[in-house]
Chain A
C-alpha cells in the first residue's frame, strides 16, 4: 500500500499521466466529433497508425516537427474522406467500413514503411518534441515537474479539447454538428447540408486521430513500430462512451485512464509486480475500458442518430 502512495505522490508519475493522456485526448476528441455528428468511426485505430507513420516519416525526411504534425493531420483527413464518402452519402455499414479503413490504413503504413526502409532491423530515430521550459511555472517545486515539463504537442492536445468543447457548445457550427447527430432531417429543413456537415466532421475528427497517432512517434517515442498504437484507438472509443459524448468528461476519462496506465507500469517494478504476472498489468487498460463501458451503459446519452445513415427525401 505504501508503495502505491509513494508512486501517487511522485512528480514523475503525474508527468507520465499527462504524457500518456495526450494522444488519448487528441484521438478521443476526434472520435467524439465524428460520433456527435452521427458517424461511428472504427477507422480510428488504423488512422492513428497512419498518423504515427506519416508524421514520423515526414520528419525523418527532413521536415520540421510541426510539419510532421500537419502531414499526419492531412493523411488522417484523407482517410476520413474515404470513410465518410462510403458511410455518409452511400450510407454503408459504419461497422464494416470502419474496420475496412483500419485494415487498409494499417496495411498501407506497413507497406510504405517496408518500401521506404526495406532492410532496417532497428527503427531509425528522429529528434522528437522536447519538454517546454516555461518561465516560473517549470521551476516550481513538485508542480513544475509534474505539470509543467511537457512538450508543445501535449499543450496542443489540451488546447484542442478546449477548442472542440467551445466549438460544439458555443458556435453555430457546433450546434449544427450536434443537431446532425440528433435529428438530421431538422438540419436539412434548416437548409444545411447533412452530408456536408457529417463528412466535414468525420474528416476533422480523423485528422485529430492521426495527430494523436503522431504524438506517439513525434513526442512520446522517437521512432515508428508496427504495433505501436496497440489498441489505443479502441480504448478511445470506450473513452467517448465513458465521457458521455462530452469533451470535458472525455478528457477527465482519458486522464483517469492514463493514471491507471502509468500506475500499472510502476507497479510492475514493486513487490506486487514480483507476485503477479506482468501480462495482468498490461491487460489492465483493456479490462478498465470494458468496465467503463459497462459502468456508463445505463446513463450514456448516445446521439440519437448515431449509426443511422441519412438519405435525403426518404422518410
Chain B
C-alpha cells in the first residue's frame, strides 16, 4: 500500500473522520467495560453522569480542565513549530515552586498574584530554554531531554518538600507551607468551587489564538513547523523562532502549576499533577493543535477522567480505563487526520 495526497478533501471527509475516531474510542471503551465484566452502556452512562450529571460534577470537570488547558496550550504552541516539548510536567512543577516561593509571605497583597504568575512563567520558560538551546546548538533531540527533565524535576520537588520547603506543621507529610490568603486565586462565584484559574486559562487560549493568527511570530511558528528549510531559505531566523516558541510554551505549562497551587491546593505537594503535562499532549492533539479547540478538548478529557473516577466507584471498572481511552483517542485521531489528507492506494 502507499499514500496518495488528496487535492481537495471533502467536508464530509474532514469532519467525518475525526468523529469516526471518537466513535472508535467509545467502541473500545465498551469493549474494555465488557472485559471488566460490566454493562458497556451503563459504564458509558456512568462516565457521562459522573462528568456532567450534577452541578458539583460539572464544576469538578472544569476544575480538572483548568491545568489541562494550560498544558494543552503549551504543547499545541510547541508542536505547531515541530518543537517536541514533552516536558510540560516539569515546567508545571517549576511554576508551582515559584508560586510557593513568592506566595508564602515574600510578597504582599496587590502584587503577589500577578508577580507569582510572571515568575512561574519565567521559571517554566527557563526550564524549556535549556533543551531548546541544546537542540538548536548541538542537535540534541529535545524529546529525550525534556522527558528526562521531568524525572529530575520530580526528584528536585521531593528534595524541596523534605528540605528547604518543608512545612513545619506538615506532620511529616511532604508538603510545602500554605500560601497566604492574598496569594490565592479567588473563586469566580462565591460558594461555587471554581477558581479564576479557569477563566484565565480560557483567556490564555484566546491570547495564544491571537498570537498564532494575527502576529508575525504566529506566522513564523507555522512556517518553521511546516518546513524549516524553506523558512530558513526565506530568511527567517529559525532558531530564534524556536526559542521564542519555547519561552511561550514553557511559560504556559508553568501557569498550570501556578493555577493548581494558587487556585486549588494552596500548597505544593508531590501529587500536584497526576500527569497533567503528559495529558496535555493528548488534549493538544485532539484539538488538532488549535488553541481554542484546546479549551473544548481539555474539558472533554477532564470529563472522561472525572467521570471514570465516579464510574469506577460505582461499576468497579478500574479508573485506568480513562488513561487507555485517552491514549486510544490520540492514536485514532492522528490516523484520522492523516486520512483526511491522504488516500490509501494499493500497490
Contact = CB atoms under 8 A, between A and B. Distances in A.
Given A89-B1, A311-B3, A312-B2, A111 B144 contact: no
A283 B316 contact: no
A110 B323 contact: yes
A290 B141 CA distance: 10
A78 interface: no
Nearest to A314: B2
Given A104-B324, A277-B159, A283 B36 contact: no
A315 interface: no
A114 B144 contact: no
Interface in B234-273: none
A115 B35 contact: yes
A107 B2 contact: no
25 contacts: A42-B143, A86-B334, A86-B335, A92-B334, A93-B334, A99-B278, A99-B330, A100-B330, A100-B331, A103-B323, A104-B331, A110-B323, A111-B32, A111-B318, A111-B320, A114-B318, A115-B318, A231-B147, A231-B148, A234-B151, A279-B155, A286-B155, A289-B144, A290-B148, A294-B138
For B152, B281, B328, B334, the residue with the greatest tally of chain A CB atoms inside 10 Å of its CB is B152
B330 A96 contact: yes
Interface majority SS (helix, strand, loop, mixed), chain A: helix
A159 interface: no
Given A277-B163, A293-B140, A97 B3 contact: no
Interface residues of B, number: 45
Contacts, number: 125
A223 interface: no
Interface in A76-122: 82, 86, 89-93, 95-97, 99-101, 103-104, 106-108, 110-111, 114-115, 118
Interface in A261-311: 277, 279-280, 282-283, 286-287, 289-290, 293-294, 297-298, 311
B27 interface: no
For the complex of A and B, the 8 pairs showing the least CB-CB separation, nearest first, are A107-B323, A104-B327, A114-B318, A103-B327, A111-B320, A297-B138, A279-B159, A110-B320
Contacts of A21: none
B152 A96 contact: no
Interface string B301-329: 00000000000000010101101101110
Interface string B144-187: 11011101100110110011000000000000000000000000
Given A277-B163, A311-B3, A111 B155 contact: no
A294 B137 CA distance: 10
